[in-house]
Amino acid sequence: MLDPAAFLCAPKRGVKAPLAAKKKPEKVRQRRILKQRLKVPPAVNQFTKTLDKNLATQLFKLLLKYRPEDKAAKKERLLKRAQAEEEGKTVESKKPIVVKYGLNHVTYLIEQNKAQLVVIAHDVDPIELVVWLPALCRKMEVPYAIVKGKSRLGAIVHKKTASVLCLTSVKNEDKLEFSKVLEAVKANFNDKFDEHRKKWGGGIMGSKSLAKTKAKERVIAKEVAQRMS
């Protein structure tokens, strides 16, 4: 026999959290299916064509070399600088070469012809924030790449997510590697811009719709055959 008192003493459990956790994957699935079914304009569809895995790995290795300092590193650097100034030592004020981020900042760098490479995340939401960026890069003749994962870009600059990153220069020892990356990026995106802007996406029917369409086609074919005979 179950003791009713045990149920009265049982701790209260939240109902909302598990339901929210279940709904999230369902929403992601629904959005993915909608993108497949609906016709997607070329400007949006180009974000499905991302840099291949090998090139992306090479690119991220390069970006990691130019990570901006985090809060702890900045605090330590400023403390050392303050100590050196107190001791009367000369402090080097040379600006370090780091990855630039922030949509407005990167846009300004592109417009000023300071950007040498722009990296855009494929999953920015809403996509309207960056949908115009490839066209701007192409107009200003700046190499750009679309890569998977705004979270991966965010990790480079110590953030949860980042929609776009930019390199304005690299060190002398990385120039050869950087030129190879730029060449590959141009071939995959800048040179294919006209091709990508003509291709629509989506319009893929589901299994039920396909079955109905095929059934209709069979009926029509049968009617045509009967008329001919």
The contacts of residue 186 (CB under 8 Å, 6+ apart) are: 143
* 104 vs 197, more confident: 104
DSSP assignments along 148-168, one per residue: S-HHHHHHHTTSS--SEEEE-
Residues 78-137 pLDDT 10s: 787 777 777 777 666 677 889 999 999 999 999 999 999 999 999 998 889 999 999 999
Is the model's pLDDT at 144 over the cut of 60?
yes
Q: Based on C-alpha coordinates, what's the Rg of the chain? A: 27
Cβ burial, residue 147 (10 Å; 0-12/13-18/19+) = buried
Q: Give me the mean pLDDT over the 34-60 stretch.
A: 86
Is the model's pLDDT at 40 over the cut of 90?
no
* Sequence spans of domains, the chain: 41-69+96-194
The contacts of residue 73 (CB under 8 Å, 6+ apart) are: none
Q: Give me the mean pLDDT over the 213-229 stretch.
A: 81
Helices (H), the chain: 4-9, 16-37, 42-45, 53-64, 71-86, 103-111, 133-139, 150-156, 175-185, 193-196, 207-228
- Contacts for 112-115 with beta carbons within 8 Å, 24 or more apart? 113/140, 113/142, 114/168, 115/140, 115/142, 115/166, 115/167, 115/168
Q: What is the pLDDT of residue 170?
A: 93
* 202 vs 44, more confident: 44
Q: What is the pLDDT of residue 105?
A: 95
CATH number of 41-69+96-194: 3.30.1330.30
Q: What is the pLDDT of residue 223?
A: 83
Residues 148-192 pLDDT 10s: 999 999 999 999 999 999 999 999 999 999 999 999 999 999 998
Q: What is the reported pTM?
A: 0.73
Q: What is the pLDDT of residue 134?
A: 94
Q: What is the pLDDT of residue 140?
A: 94
* 223 vs 14, more confident: 223
- Least confident range of 40-44, 115-119, 125-129, 203-207: 203-207
Contact 180, 81 (CB under 8 A): no
